[in-house]
Amino acid sequence: MLKTIIRNHLNGAEGREKREGWVPRWMTFPPSAYTTRGGVGTVIKAELMAQALSNGELSDDEDRAETGMDDPVDHGVDHDGDADGKGAPLAA
């Protein structure tokens, strides 16, 4: 039933106003919460990163170390999407 109500809002069916491009607040950039009680992980992390960046506390290298993000190329996977280097097709 809840999925039907959401679908009706997104599609503008059953007399409901159509919502183009709607996504939950916690998935937007920067993320936000619906209530003030907290506990939304994406909101907490975004606030911490924004504060650190505005204070000049993090450089690019420190950003990667703080977030656990390595250089995106250095994961043992080639650019064709496989680890063995044979270049498997991305789609059949």
Residue 52 belongs to a domain: yes
What is the value of pTM for the model shown? 0.42
| Per-residue confidence (pLDDT) for residue 75, from 0 to 100 | 46
Is 54 inside a domain boundary? yes
Burial 82-92 (b: 16+ CB within 10 A, else e): eeeeeeeeeee
Residue whose C-alpha is closest to residue 49's, from 37, 39, 57: 57
Domain containing 37 equals: 23-71
Give me the torsion for CA of 82, 83, 87, 91, rounded to 10°.
-10
pLDDT tens-digit map of 35-69 = 888 888 888 998 898 888 888 876 666 555 655 55
- Residue 27 domain flag: yes
In a domain, 8, yes or no: no
Q: Is residue 15 part of a domain?
A: no
Q: How many CB atoms lie within 10 A of CB 16?
A: 14
Residue 12 within any structural domain of the chain: no
